[in-house]
Amino acid sequence: MNKPLYIISAIIVIGLWGLGSVYGTADKSTELKLKLDEISVLQQTLTAKIQLASEKKVQLQQKTEALKKEIIDQRDELQIDNYQRAVLNPRIDYNLKLIQLLHGYISRLDDKIIYFQIGQDTLNFFYRQAQDDLLMIKALNDLEIDKLIAQINEVLNEYVPETGKPLFNVNDVPLKDTEQIWNEISRVTE
């Protein structure tokens, strides 16, 4: 191969490699921007879910307090001094069982709120990292960006399906013993 042709070939190869690098950078930049948009949408959805769960928790806590007051009123009116006599009263027994169920619901709502908050924190971390990577995209190699995108996808794949589900499964609610609830109510009011 003669020398001028070799130099021209080398320049073309370098130029094409540079174009591929620019194209790859632009492609990764677009992909990161799309991930930032996906993160933003999921963060808004998680915020709404946390808000909903928090509102439901407050409502359930208020209902629990109203039921406790009813139990105390019945206890004082009928001079009930122990659990065995308390559950013989249908109203007290029913209220204790409702409180038992409400405690379980509140527990599951707490779990879901924590879960969604962890998701938000994780997404915030990746959002900031993606923003930083966008600023430095020319200096980063594709493997680093691919790794970040894979991590973001992992979090998105975990939390996006959860946002479409109910806040908790009523069949999987932990139930506190009604005698324990009675004892807690009695201790507080003595």
Compute the distance between CA of residue 88 and CA of residue 36 in angstroms, rounded to an integer: 59
Tens digit of each residue's pLDDT, the chain (190 residues) = 455 544 444 444 444 444 444 444 567 788 889 999 999 999 999 999 999 999 999 999 999 999 999 999 999 999 999 999 999 999 999 999 999 999 999 999 999 999 999 999 999 999 999 888 887 776 666 667 788 889 999 999 999 999 888 888 888 888 999 999 999 998 866 6
Ordered DSSP codes for 124-179: HHHHHHHHHHHHTTTTS-HHHHHHHHHHHHHHHHHHHHHHTS-SS-GGG-----HH
Delineate the domains of the chain, giving CATH numbers in brackets: 32-189 (1.20.1260)
